[in-house]
C-alpha cells in the first residue's frame, strides 16, 4: 500500500452518490495545493530558496512544483533578497501584472525590513510598495522556514473567500498602496 497522504475533503454533506460543500472551500483547497510561485530572487535568500525547491526539501510536495517566471500565470510572489530602491518599481510592476487571486511572501530580513542594508539605496521592506501576506524571518531563513512560510500561505489560501478582490477591505488595502 502506498503511504501517500492526500488532503482531506472539506466538511460537507455526503450521501449516496453526492457530496455537497461550499464552492469557496473546494476552490481554496485546489488553489492551496497547486500554487504557482514566482521566485523574485535577488540575493542569498534566492540560493536558500533553490535548496528549498531542490529534491532534499522539495517544495513540489506542497504543489508548488511549477515555478512561474511570468507574473501573468503566477499565484504567489515570493520576494527573496535585497530590493534596492531602483528595483522597487520593477517589483511593483510584477505585482500589478499578476492576476487575482495573488499572494505575496516576503522572505528574509532584507525583503521584510531592509535588513542590514539601512542605507540610501535599499528599500526598507517591500511592504512600502506592495502588500505582503507572510513574512519569513532569518538572514537567510533555512529551507524549513521557507516551507513553514509557504504552508502559512496555504492556510491563507484555503480560508480565502471566493472573490477576495471584491471585498471593500481588500480594495481599501490596495488603494492604500495606490494600486488600481
Binding residues vs another protein (CB under 8 A):
85-86, 88, 113-114, 118-121, 124
C-beta of 45 vs 59, nearer to another protein: 45
Instruction: Tell me the Cα Rg of the chain.
Output: 18
* 43 contact partners, CB below 8 Å, separation of at least 6: 80, 81, 82, 110
**Closest distance to another protein from the beta carbon of 128 (Å):** 8
**Closest distance to another protein from the beta carbon of 85 (Å):** 5
Q: What is the edge-to-edge ordering of all strands in the sheet holding 134-136?
A: 37-41, 76-80, 103-107, 134-136
**Closest distance to another protein from the beta carbon of 120 (Å):** 4
**Closest distance to another protein from the beta carbon of 136 (Å):** 15
C-beta of 3 vs 118, nearer to another protein: 118
C-beta of 95 vs 150, nearer to another protein: 95
C-beta of 85 vs 164, nearer to another protein: 85
Distances (CA, A) of 103 to 2, 4, 13, 71, 122: 33, 28, 31, 12, 23
Quick one: which of 133, 145, 132 has its CA closest to 57?
Answer: 145
Amino acid at each position: 500500500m502506498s503511504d501517500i497522504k492526500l488532503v482531506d475533503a472539506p466538511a460537507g454533506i455526503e450521501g449516496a452518490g453526492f457530496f455537497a460543500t461550499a464552492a469557496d472551500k473546494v476552490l481554496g483547497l485546489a488553489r492551496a495545493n497547486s500554487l504557482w510561485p514566482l521566485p523574485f530572487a535577488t540575493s542569498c535568500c534566492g540560493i536558500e530558496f533553490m535548496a528549498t525547491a531542490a529534491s532534499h526539501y522539495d517544495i513540489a510536495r506542497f504543489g508548488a512544483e511549477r515555478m512561474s517566471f511570468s507574473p501573468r500565470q503566477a499565484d504567489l510572489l515570493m520576494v527573496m533578497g535585497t530590493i534596492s530602491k531602483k528595483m522597487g518599481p520593477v517589483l511593483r510592476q510584477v505585482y500589478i501584472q499578476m492576476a487575482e487571486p495573488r499572494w505575496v511572501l516576503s522572505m528574509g530580513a532584507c525583503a521584510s525590513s531592509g535588513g542590514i542594508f539601512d542605507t540610501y539605496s535599499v528599500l526598507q521592506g517591500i511592504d512600502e510598495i506592495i502588500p505582503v501576506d507572510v513574512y519569513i524571518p532569518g538572514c537567510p531563513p533555512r529551507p524549513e522556514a521557507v516551507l513553514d512560510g509557504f504552508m502559512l500561505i496555504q492556510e491563507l489560501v484555503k480560508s480565502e473567500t471566493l472573490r477576495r478582490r471584491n471585498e471593500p477591505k481588500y480594495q481599501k488595502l490596495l488603494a492604500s498602496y495606490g494600486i488600481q
